[in-house]
């Protein structure tokens, strides 16, 4: 707004005053950004990779953008997988729609693979041919609600019983997906009633419902994971970890944490939505 | 003879009830469908003032903005340029929305049965730049207060995008 009003004023002024105003407004803008940075005690920059054309979604999402140049939108609903070509985001084009052999609740993409959480397991699809996802394999578990995230050759799955998906198990599974046609369970941890989860470079964040947010050191997942922090007294639903900034939605509102590896995490803000 | 009686009995009862047109009026709280025509759906997306979230839905983060779906209703837009002081800048009405993703500065979201592209270059002034009609099959929205009775929708009035609790007067025969 400041800049716009400045530009409007410029039209009224002669060239000499323009020369005076331009450096002044630049100085004002510059001082504003310095002020914002001064709020961080250690100059932490929270910035997404500028090459990240499609941003980041929560683990419970049924939409994900993947494929070459982020040109494909994959959606899952009931047992239907739909592929939209979004090369031009303003003219989405449905290029494929087919049924999986079971109901699907969530979709997560890593590289040329899609991981889907289903009430009875986790499905893996190959999207090297982006328009025609190929079923690779699955891991079956007891009936529950279960989002999935993955990093390198390990997948993390939460199971929540007692909800709309049925079942009674509340667990966190660590799966070996080095052979995606045959995922294998490596570890299994008891949870309270987990919803979404997120992984960033060996730090695992699990929204354990009424039992809050749990943070794990998952830097060496083949040796198991270790809980390193616990933020309770909130009903954690889903997270998005992005390069040192953890965005979490809870029933109580929006929470943000700063983290630097599994050993360092702190709450920086919580707000209610629409207060 | 017995068979004849069995056949005649309902007929006699029907005649009997038609003689006495006694009905009673009762007020019942029911969930009544909120309809939206095709044209209304197309013009339904607009920016509104920030509002309290009713149900926590899906979240998405892109270029300093956090988007939170309020299932069935719309998307809350949070300016997160300074994560220590996030600003709730408004709410985009998107009836029938449950899911979203963002490519470049465009939200791609379900708007009931359609897939819509909403350009957020100016986050305070979202612009619908694309729409794929009938991208998804129609799903009857559910309401959390499942204990309430639903009024059966008349789908010729449009698609159902939600439910309003309404007191309806019902006439039922006296017993």
In a domain, B36, yes or no: yes
Spatial distance between the Cα atoms of A46 and B66, rounded to a whole number of angstroms: 13
Give SS3 for B19: helix
* Predicted local distance difference test score (pLDDT) of residue A29: 43
Domain boundaries of chain A, sorted by first residue: 2-38, 63-271
Contacts of A57 (CB under 8 A, 6+ apart): A63, A64, A240, B58, B59, B60, B61, B100, B101
**To which CATH superfamily is domain A63-271 assigned?**
YVTN repeat-like/Quinoprotein amine dehydrogenase (2.130.10.10)
Touching check for B101 and chain A: CB below 8 Å? yes
Tell me the CA distances in angstroms from B22 to A12, A233, B16, B106, one per residue in order.
81, 57, 12, 60
pLDDT below 70 — which residues of chain A? 1-51, 275
C-alpha torsion angle, residues A133, A63, B133, A53 (rounded to 10): -90
* Predicted local distance difference test score (pLDDT) of residue B34: 86
Touching check for B52 and chain A: CB below 8 Å? yes
SS3 sequence of A10-76: HHHCCHHHHHHHHHHHHHHHHHHHHHHHHCCCCCCCCCCCCCCCCCEECCCCCEEEECHHHCEEEEE
Q: Which residue of A has its CA nearest to B65?
A: A55
* Predicted local distance difference test score (pLDDT) of residue B76: 97
Least CB-CB distance to A254: which of B78, B108, B117? B78
pLDDT below 70 — which residues of chain B? 1-21, 143-147, 175
Spatial distance between the Cα atoms of A95 and B135, rounded to a whole number of angstroms: 11
The CATH number given to whatever domain includes residue B116 is: 2.40.128
Q: Which residue of B has its CA nearest to A269?
A: B84
Six token digits for residue A117 = 């959480």
- 8 Å CB contact between A53 and A67: no
Contact A84 B135 (CB under 8 A): yes
Six token digits for residue A88 = 């031009």
Spatial distance between the Cα atoms of B94 and B60, rounded to a whole number of angstroms: 15
ipTM of the complex: 0.82
Contacts of A22 (CB under 8 A, 6+ apart): none
* Total number of domains in chain B: 1
* Predicted local distance difference test score (pLDDT) of residue B1: 55
Domain that holds residue B153: 28-170
- For residue B63, which residues of chain A lie inside 8 Å, CB to CB? 48, 55
* Predicted local distance difference test score (pLDDT) of residue A166: 80
- For residue A55, which residues of chain B lie inside 8 Å, CB to CB? 60-63, 101-102
- For residue B106, which residues of chain A lie inside 8 Å, CB to CB? 89-90
Only one residue has tokens 């019902």, namely B170
Tell me the CA distances in angstroms from B112 to A69, B10, B58, B162, one per residue in order.
27, 46, 15, 10
- The pTM for the full model equals 0.81
Q: Which of residues 85-124 of A touch B (CB under 8 A)?
A: 86, 89-94
Phi/psi at A250 (5° precision) = -130, 170
Contact A92 B78 (CB under 8 A): no
- State the Cα angle at B75 between B70 and B80, rounded to 5°: 115
Least CB-CB distance to B59: which of A62, A77, A240? A240
Q: Which of residues 228-267 of A touch B (CB under 8 A)?
A: 237-238, 240, 242, 245, 247, 249-251, 254, 256, 258
Contact A273 B58 (CB under 8 A): no
- For residue A94, which residues of chain B lie inside 8 Å, CB to CB? 132, 135
* Predicted local distance difference test score (pLDDT) of residue B143: 67
- Rg of chain A over all Cα atoms, to the nearest angstrom: 22
């Amino acid at each position: 707004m400041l800049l716009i009003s400045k530009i409007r004023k410029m039209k009224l002024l002669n060239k000499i005053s323009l020369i005076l105003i331009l450096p002044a407004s630049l100085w004002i803008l510059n001082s504003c950004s310095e002020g914002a940075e001064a709020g961080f005690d250690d100059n932490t920059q929270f910035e997404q990779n500028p090459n990240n054309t499609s941003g980041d979604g929560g683990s419970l999402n049924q939409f994900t953008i993947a494929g070459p140049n982020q040109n494909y939108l994959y959606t899952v609903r009931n047992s239907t997988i739909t592929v939209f070509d979004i090369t031009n985001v303003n003219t989405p084009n449905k290029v494929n729609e087919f049924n999986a052999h079971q109901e699907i609740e969530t979709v997560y993409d890593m590289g040329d693979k899609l991981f889907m959480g289903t009430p009875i397991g986790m499905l893996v699809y190959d999207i090297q041919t982006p328009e025609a996802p190929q079923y690779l394999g699955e891991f079956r578990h007891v009936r529950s609600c279960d989002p999935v995230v993955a990093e390198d050759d390990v997948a993390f799955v939460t199971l929540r019983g007692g909800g709309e998906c049925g079942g009674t198990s509340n667990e966190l599974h660590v799966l070996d997906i080095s052979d995606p046609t045959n995922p294998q369970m490596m570890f299994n941890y008891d949870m309270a009633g987990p919803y979404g989860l997120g992984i960033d470079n060996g730090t695992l964040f699990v929204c354990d419902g009424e039992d809050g947010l749990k943070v794990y050191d998952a830097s060496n997942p083949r040796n198991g994971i270790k809980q390193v922090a616990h933020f309770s007294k909130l009903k954690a639903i889903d997270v998005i970890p992005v390069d040192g900034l953890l965005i979490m939605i809870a029933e109580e509102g929006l929470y943000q944490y700063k983290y630097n590896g599994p050993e360092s995490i702190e709450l920086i803000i919580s707000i209610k939505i629409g207060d | 003879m017995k068979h004849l009686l069995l056949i005649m009995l309902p007929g006699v009862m029907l005649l009997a009830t038609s003689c006495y047109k006694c009905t009673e009026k009762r007020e019942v709280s029911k969930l009544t469908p909120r309809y939206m025509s095709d044209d209304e759906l197309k013009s339904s997306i607009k920016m509104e003032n920030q509002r309290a979230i009713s149900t926590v839905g899906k979240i998405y983060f892109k270029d300093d903005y956090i988007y939170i779906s309020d299932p069935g209703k719309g998307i809350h837009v949070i300016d997160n340029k300074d994560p220590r002081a996030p600003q709730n800048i408004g709410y985009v009405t998107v009836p029938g929305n449950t899911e979203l993703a963002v490519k470049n500065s465009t939200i791609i979201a379900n708007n009931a049965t359609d897939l819509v592209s909403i350009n957020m270059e100016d986050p305070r002034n979202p612009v619908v730049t694309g729409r794929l009609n009938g991208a998804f099959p129609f799903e009857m929205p559910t309401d959390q207060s499942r204990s309430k009775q639903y009024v059966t929708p008349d789908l010729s009035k449009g698609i159902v995008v939600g439910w309003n609790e309404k007191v309806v007067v019902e006439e039922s025969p006296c017993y």
